[in-house]
Amino acid sequence: MRVPVVTGAGSAASAALPRERASVSRLTRMLESEKLLAAALLTPGVLVLVLFIAYPFVMAIWFSLTSIRVGDPGEFIGLANFTKAWNDDIFQHAFKNTVFYTFWATIFKFALGMWLALLLNRHFRFKRIIRASMLLPFIIPTVLSAFAWRWMFDPTFSVMNWLLFHTGLITDRLPFLSDGDWAMWCAVLVNTWRGMPFFAITLLAGLQTISPDLHEAAALDGAGAWHRFWHVTWPLLMPVTLVVVVFSVIQTFSDFQLIYVLTGGGPANSTHLIATYAYQVGVASGLLGEGAALSLFMFPVLFAVVWFQLRYMKRMEGH
């Protein structure tokens, strides 16, 4: 689609005045140098990333060291924001929640995603449409689907309570989102629901690269289904698994929207994640410095994960 536009511009340039033609040819000559062309091609992307990632990151660090708030530039206060956060009960709770949420959601996503991938790897009718519809939770905006879940967990009108009540499993309603511990498990459930398809589809792609010959050879040697999975499939899936897990951990650890919609951090600040708490302090209360410090607490964990990922990639390239 873009191609005709460019050729059009080229022919327009060649039909233009001789002087313009000379400058165009100088430009094309310059672009023949690999270095200059590379610089020209990389500039737009790098510019956007520097302006809207590197620069705000530096500013986040600066903010976190000052007492800046909305309408007040504040002054340098060293690490006071960090020590304040460290001693803040809500933050400690939010940090624990974030670790809990990331840990359990990743485990469930991986286990269920692997199971689903193994199921989808078989031959069955309507395979394409089932596989496509399985990805829906991952495609649909999280905020919108989280609302559907919130409605399903509604204290008065919950369909889950209805179902459990009428099947005789409960006699009174369950406090899905009105109790902090319950609400965290609900958040894990919704996050699992949303992220499982990504695991499943990626692991499925990994499964499809494994030659069936390997399985048949193992079966001939008398290996049962479980042994074949453990000794053939699992090791071969390891590289893909690591990549998906890393991506998922980063996404889950820094999650915001799901909790924002499902509980808003409540009841009584018991379900905050680092990101939702940073939002509450930094945006809702306008304490920019404190908010920036809170969100920077995510950085060491994310950095460790990224470092691990990069080292792993280097090692793979070495082989």
Partner 1 sequence: MLIERKWKKWVVFYLPMALFIVFTLFPFYWMAVTAIRPDPELYRTWRQASATPFWTLHPTLEHFKGLMQTTAFPHWLWNTMLIALVSTVISLICGMFAGYALARLKFRGSEFLGTAIFVTYLVPQTLLFIPLADIIRDMHLGNTPWALMLTYPTFLIPFCTWLLMGYFKTIPKELEECARIDGATRFGAMVRIIFPVAIPGILSAGIFAFTLSWNEFIYALIFMSSAELKTVPVGVVSELIRGDIFFWGQLMAGALLGSVPVALVYSFFVEYYVTGLTGSVKG
Q: Please, which of residues 4-23 interact with partner 1 by CB under 8 A?
A: 6-7, 10
Q: Please, which of residues 80-109 interact with partner 1 by CB under 8 A?
A: none
Asked if 41 touches partner 1 (CB under 8 A), the answer is yes
Asked if 205 touches partner 1 (CB under 8 A), the answer is yes
Q: Is-cis flag, bond preceding 267, omega within 30?
A: yes
Asked if 256 touches partner 1 (CB under 8 A), the answer is yes
- Nearest distance from C-beta of residue 178 to partner 1, angstroms: 14
Q: In 153-270, where does DSSP find H-type helix?
A: 159-166, 180-208, 212-220, 225-228, 234-253, 257-262
Torsion, CA 208, CA 213, CA 218, CA 224, rounded to 10: 50
Sign of the CA dihedral with 103 first, then 105, 111, and 117 last: negative
Asked if 235 touches partner 1 (CB under 8 A), the answer is no
Asked if 240 touches partner 1 (CB under 8 A), the answer is yes
Asked if 28 touches partner 1 (CB under 8 A), the answer is yes
Q: Given the rule CB under 8 A, which of 13-21, 102-110, 113-121, 176-184 is the region that contacts partner 1?
A: 113-121
Task: Tell me which of 82, 103, 115, 312 binds partner 1, using CB under 8 A.
Answer: 115
- Nearest distance from C-beta of residue 201 to partner 1, angstroms: 6
Q: Show the binding pattern over residues 277-316: x = contacts partner 1 (CB under 8 A), - = does not.
A: -xx--xx----x--xx--xx-xx--x--xx--xx------
Give the whole-angstrom CA distance, residue 46 versus residue 237: 34
Task: Tell me which of 18, 44, 222, 235 binds partner 1, using CB under 8 A.
Answer: 44
Task: Tell me which of 162, 230, 234, 308 binds partner 1, using CB under 8 A.
Answer: 162
- Residue 157 and residue 151 in contact, taking contact as beta carbons nearer than 8 Å: yes
Task: Tell me which of 260, 262, 265, 269 binds partner 1, using CB under 8 A.
Answer: 260
Q: In the chain, where does DSSP find H-type helix?
A: 2-14, 18-30, 34-49, 55-64, 80-86, 89-120, 127-134, 136-139, 142-152, 159-166, 180-208, 212-220, 225-228, 234-253, 257-262, 274-279, 288-296, 299-318
Task: Tell me which of 82, 100, 165, 229 binds partner 1, using CB under 8 A.
Answer: 165
